[in-house]
Chain A
Amino acid sequence: MTQLEKKVIALLKDDARRSYSEIATLLGVEENQIKTIVTDLEKQGIIVKYSAIINTEKTGEDYVDALIEVKCTPQARSGFDAIAKEIYKFPEVKSVYLMSGTYDLCIQLESKTVRDVSLFVSERLSTIDSVTGTATHFIMKQYKEGGVVLNDETDRRSDGNT
């Protein structure tokens, strides 16, 4: 990837709603060039999707985020991939990662209630044959999400005399 492509990606990761013209201004290049780069990155599947970061505390809606550690027995030919696939097909699963260390898969789950989470674990996860164990962690508070500190720190600078 070129230096410029990397910079474009960094700017979009920071704020996906930046226009081509704004990105062009920030990087000091022509707008058309940015348009070509972004379209290309989308086509290649490098930019997969643009989404919003939500401060769930402020939405006033019930919302539970959980991280679930999963231990499983890899299958003969497909290793962990087939198990991951079985798990990620559920819409409430936000992300699935294969991990190094003491467990195998890490699932990030987005549900309405604690009960939803327990149902997911007891009825969906544990019933998958190769799953040998799970540990569920509820997320209690969001401090930083997608690189953004949610309750912004105050500016400590003193408006001195410089």
Chain B
Amino acid sequence: MDYTKYLNKTALGIKPSGIRKFFDLASERKDIISLGVGEPDFDTPWVARDNAIKIIKKGYTQYTGNAGLPKLRELICKYYLDRYGVKYSPNECLVTVGASEAIDITLRAIVNPGEEVLVPEPSYVSYCPCVQLAGGIPVAVPCYAKDNFSLTADTLKKYITDKTKAIILPYPNNPTGAIMEEDGLKEIAKVIIEKDILVISDEIYSELTYNEKGHVSIASISGMQERTIVINGFSKAFSMTGWRLGYLLAPLEIFEVIKKIHQYGIICAPTISQYAGISMLEESFSDDFNSVNEMKSEYDMRRRYCVSRLNKMGLTCFEPKGAFYVFPSVEKLNMSSDEFATTLLEEKGVAVVPGSAFVNGDCSFIRISYAYSLKQLEKALDIIEEFVKEKTK
């Protein structure tokens, strides 16, 4: 049977994920040392797990209201005000099934067929498919190594057309580890306001920034909150990936439309996870984010270690200030990222993700995740160093 005629053309047309493709390759071997995974290696803090167990025992296992538990939404608003200086009412906060759902339903709420959504490149794999599934046209806006992969106003201007509806602002960035500093945000905010487009700010790595000032949300820049949908979640900040808990913050009129899609498509985020999220935030406020900071300083050490080792072996990389990725160049070996990652995997059993997974076409960078113990990083980087030496002979 030819199934293509039964299937949705847009969905059929979406190219398979480059990360998935690569790990399918990797899974054919047993002895792989991976630096590929994009989720924290820390366990969810005990308070959240403990409270979830209590909630199950109490039998609080029904749906919650569509937007999420009021207490959780209050805490999320308090969190954004305390941490990033942006004030939202709980009525503008929607609890979602991870940041993933938030990205999807936000795009579906704002995009009309044929409208363009700017997606800085390289970036996370889900944006473009979600834009396409919403009927929009993703337009890649290249970010360059010379700018440490942050977005500049000049580049942005070149890609805005009459059809541009919104831009996805993916900082701190997966896969590059780039962040946007306040000055840079102000520059692009001017362009965004002048061109009258919306911003979808994916701030899922906001807790993981390693500069003095910390994360700055574009919603905190003057004139931006009214045209920004902030997306964040518990996955990376609190090592809660499997709980599927995220949220978005948006101006009321936009929020209402997004909520409608969430209400019919999802009903509500997992109840038990929502309770776990409440205890996680309450605990964080009461210990002044101590456990988050401890986790961050562990990542920070690994980050410095990776940057130092990679630069020494000639895989040059800038010092990323966010997330848990480094993005070194493999140009020196005259290999594409695909070729590098595939050969490294086949010959040495080390898995890294080729930069090609995050751009259209190929590039000369690879993504190394440092969500691994220093011990494992050392082992893998030793092997990569050996590989680089062999290939540059």
Q: B37 — which chain A residues lie within 8 A by C-beta?
A: 155, 157, 159-160, 162
Complex contact A26–B17 (CB within 8 A): no
Contact with B along A1-33 (1 / 0, CB 8 A): 000000000000011000000100111100000
Complex contact B26–A161 (CB within 8 A): no
How far does the Cβ of A110 sit from chain B's closest Cβ, in whole Å?
A: 26
Complex contact A25–B27 (CB within 8 A): no
Complex contact A161–B304 (CB within 8 A): no
Complex contact B36–A159 (CB within 8 A): yes
Chain A's interface: helix, strand, loop or mixed, by majority? Answer: loop
How far does the Cβ of B342 sit from chain A's closest Cβ, in whole Å?
A: 16
Q: B27 — which chain A residues lie within 8 A by C-beta?
A: 159
Q: A15 — which chain B residues lie within 8 A by C-beta?
A: 374-375
How far does the Cβ of A14 sit from chain B's closest Cβ, in whole Å?
A: 8
Docked pose: A155 CA to B23 CA in angstroms: 15
Select one of A26, A28, A162 contacting B39, CB under 8 A. Answer: A162
Check: B174 CB closer than 8 A to any chain A CB: yes
Complex contact A161–B17 (CB within 8 A): yes
Interface size on A, residues (CB 8 A): 13
Select one of A26, A159, A162 contacting B301, CB under 8 A. Answer: A26
Check: B19 CB closer than 8 A to any chain A CB: yes
Docked pose: A155 CA to B351 CA in angstroms: 14
Select one of A14, A27, A159, A162 contacting B34, CB under 8 A. Answer: A159
Docked pose: A137 CA to B155 CA in angstroms: 71
Closest to B21 in A: A161
Check: B135 CB closer than 8 A to any chain A CB: no
Q: A14 — which chain B residues lie within 8 A by C-beta?
A: 374
How far does the Cβ of A155 sit from chain B's closest Cβ, in whole Å?
A: 8
Q: A160 — which chain B residues lie within 8 A by C-beta?
A: 19, 37-39
Given A26-B301, A27-B301, check contact A161 B308 (CB 8 Å): no
Complex contact B305–A159 (CB within 8 A): no
Complex contact B41–A26 (CB within 8 A): no
Q: Across the A-B interface, how many residue pairs have beta carbons closer than 8 Å?
A: 43
Docked pose: A159 CA to B29 CA in angstroms: 13
Complex contact B41–A157 (CB within 8 A): yes
Closest to B376 in A: A155
Docked pose: A93 CA to B151 CA in angstroms: 63
How far does the Cβ of B147 sit from chain A's closest Cβ, in whole Å?
A: 23
Given A26-B301, A27-B301, check contact A162 B308 (CB 8 Å): no
| Residues from 122 to 162 in A contacting B, C-beta threshold 8 Å | 155, 157, 159-162
Docked pose: A155 CA to B304 CA in angstroms: 23
Q: B19 — which chain A residues lie within 8 A by C-beta?
A: 160-162
Docked pose: A146 CA to B23 CA in angstroms: 34
Given A157-B39, A161-B17, check contact A25 B23 (CB 8 Å): no
How far does the Cβ of B375 sit from chain A's closest Cβ, in whole Å?
A: 8
How far does the Cβ of A111 sit from chain B's closest Cβ, in whole Å?
A: 31
Q: B71 — which chain A residues lie within 8 A by C-beta?
A: none
Complex contact A159–B26 (CB within 8 A): yes
Select one of A26, A157, A159, A162 contacting B304, CB under 8 A. Answer: A26
Complex contact B23–A159 (CB within 8 A): yes
Closest to B309 in A: A25
Check: B125 CB closer than 8 A to any chain A CB: yes
Docked pose: A129 CA to B124 CA in angstroms: 72
Complex contact B305–A25 (CB within 8 A): yes
How far does the Cβ of A33 sit from chain B's closest Cβ, in whole Å?
A: 15
Given A159-B23, A161-B19, check contact A25 B39 (CB 8 Å): no
Docked pose: A101 CA to B174 CA in angstroms: 53
Check: B20 CB closer than 8 A to any chain A CB: yes
Complex contact A161–B125 (CB within 8 A): yes
Residue with the highest number of chain A CB atoms closer than 10 Å, among B26, B37, B125, B300? B37
Closest to B235 in A: A162
Contact with A along B295-333 (1 / 0, CB 8 A): 000001100110010000000000000000000000000
Closest to B32 in A: A159
Complex contact A162–B305 (CB within 8 A): no
How far does the Cβ of B17 sit from chain A's closest Cβ, in whole Å?
A: 5
How far does the Cβ of A13 sit from chain B's closest Cβ, in whole Å?
A: 13
Closest to A148 in B: B375
Report which A residues bind B (CB closer than 8 A).
14-15, 22, 25-28, 155, 157, 159-162
Residue pairs across A and B with Cβ atoms less than 8 A apart, 23 shown, are A25-B304, A25-B308, A26-B304, A26-B374, A27-B301, A28-B304, A155-B41, A157-B37, A159-B23, A159-B27, A159-B34, A159-B37, A159-B351, A160-B19, A160-B37, A160-B39, A161-B17, A161-B19, A161-B20, A161-B125, A162-B37, A162-B124, A162-B125
Given contacts A25-B308, A161-B17, 16 further A-B contacts (CB under 8 A): A15-B374, A15-B375, A25-B305, A26-B304, A26-B305, A27-B301, A155-B37, A155-B41, A157-B37, A159-B23, A159-B27, A159-B34, A159-B351, A160-B19, A160-B39, A162-B39
| The 6 nearest A-B residue pairs measured at CB | A162-B38, A159-B23, A26-B301, A25-B308, A157-B37, A161-B20
